[in-house]
């Protein structure tokens, strides 16, 4: 069974800090999605990656296929980054397998 584990569950940071959220996944998953859920509930897809690294603004996502591990980094964090970040494993043949999310709070 495909599985995805996220850490930490909760994270509090001071504004400006560099943030890392981790995601480990099981054999069979070939791509990783990172999603952001705003405090109001809306869900936005941030990245989908199957190798290497992707960057969008202050957000960077990396994936290590050999170690079955992905990280989401936020540089120069800001209170507006406060949200729940969710990783999801994609095996290609079956629907996404979601982690339980990391709740991030960035304090000014």
Interface residues with other proteins (CB under 8 A)?
30-31, 33, 35, 41-45, 48, 86, 88, 90, 92-93, 95-96, 98-101
User: For the chain, how many helices (H) and strands (E)?
Assistant: 0, 11
Q: Which is nearer to other proteins, 42 or 57 (CB)?
A: 42
Q: Which is nearer to other proteins, 83 or 86 (CB)?
A: 86
Q: Which is nearer to other proteins, 72 or 101 (CB)?
A: 101
CB of 61 to other proteins, least distance (A): 13
Per-residue tokens: 60: 């960077």
CB of 16 to other proteins, least distance (A): 30
């Amino acid at each position: 069974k495909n599985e995805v584990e996220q850490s930490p569950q909760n994270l509090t940071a001071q504004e400006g800090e560099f943030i890392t959220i981790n995601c480990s996944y099981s054999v069979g998953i070939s791509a990783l999605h990172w999603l952001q859920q705003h405090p109001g509930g809306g869900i936005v897809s941030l990245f989908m990656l199957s190798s290497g690294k992707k960057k969008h603004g202050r957000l960077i996502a990396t994936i290590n296929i050999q170690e079955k591990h992905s990280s989401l980094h936020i540089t120069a964090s800001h209170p507006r980054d406060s949200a729940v970040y969710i990783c999801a494993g994609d095996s290609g043949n079956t629907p996404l397998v979601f982690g339980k999310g990391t709740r991030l709070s960035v304090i000014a």
